[in-house]
Structure 1
Amino acid sequence: MPAQQDTDRGFLTFKDFKKAFNSASPQLSEKIIVEAFKEVDQDSDGCISFKEFESAMKYGQDEVSPVCFA
């Protein structure tokens, strides 16, 4: 039986987060990935919950768009 992945438990570990970043943007430094993880991990428990992930994905959506309508 295969080992259960952390994402199956409803959270992302730093290892999961780093793997996703390295896949999407392999040029990013470890330092940037660590800082991004700390920012998203709002409760500093070392895991990113779905709620924290959702909050990060919605970041800035409530701000007024700079698009001007003519």
Structure 2
Amino acid sequence: LMHSMVSEATRQLRIDDAFANADADSDGRLCRGDVKVAWIELFGYKPCRRELDLIMQSQPAVAGPTDEFVTLDTFRRLASARMSRLDADGQLRHAFAALDSGGRNFLRAEDLRRAVGLLAPRLAAGGFAVDRAFAEVDADADGRVTYRDFEFAMKFDPDQQ
């Protein structure tokens, strides 16, 4: 819990710093060009026109100039959501790499059995549940689970089907 609080505080500081660094005229809001600069600082890439349009359209309407801009609150919300998605993807890549002990870029049923044997020996004892789970994730039944198969299974939400 403490780690997640520190991570969230660090995330907010990074976002606030990127916003301040990009706010060229220090008016507390970012124009399209400023958003590009802040996005590059945070994520290492320039947002495409479509992504930039979505960012700019996320700003609630306010009375005043009709120029497009993004306030700190809106920027915080959007950048934090983007960082959360990146963090989750990083955790998936890390988990996949930990299971892929052979560094083959795919998992075999033996890899899953080994991991489950270490983490949940009672579940691994029968083996049937592990083999069935592997078969569910192995979409093309080739005996290999690629990262794409793994990612799909980990992000699968049966309530959205």
State if a TM-score over 0.5 links the two structures: yes
- Cross-structure match for 2:128: 31
Say yes or no: does 1:40 pair with 2:134. no
For 1:19, give the aligned amino acid.
Answer: R
CA deviation after TM superposition for structure 1 residue 24, in Å? 2.2
Unaligned runs of 5+ in 2: 1-100
- In structure 2, distance between residues paired with 1:44 and 1:56: 14
- Cross-structure match for 1:22: 117
More helix by share: 2
Name the CA shift for 1:59/1:30 in 2 (closer, same or farther; >3 Å). Answer: same
DSSP 3-state at the match of 2:121: coil
DSSP 3-state at the match of 1:9: coil
Structure (1 or 2) with the larger CA radius of gyration: 2
- In structure 2, distance between residues paired with 1:51 and 1:23: 24
Deviations 1:31-59 (A, max 9, x none): 11110010010110001100011011101
- In structure 2, distance between residues paired with 1:14 and 1:55: 17
- In structure 1, distance between residues paired with 2:118 and 2:151: 20
TM-score, normalised relative to structure 1? 0.71
19-28 or 44-53, larger mean C-alpha shift: 19-28
The count of aligned residue pairs is: 58
- Stretches (4+) displaced over 3 A: none
DSSP 3-state at the match of 1:16: helix
- Cross-structure match for 2:108: 13
- Kindly indicate whether structure 1 or structure 2 has the higher relative contact order, using CA contacts under 8 Å at least 6 residues apart: 1
- In structure 2, distance between residues paired with 1:38 and 1:53: 12
Q: Please give the root-mean-square deviation of Cα atoms over the aligned residues, in Å.
A: 1.9
> Sequence identity of aligned pairs in percent?
36
TM-score, normalised relative to structure 2? 0.33
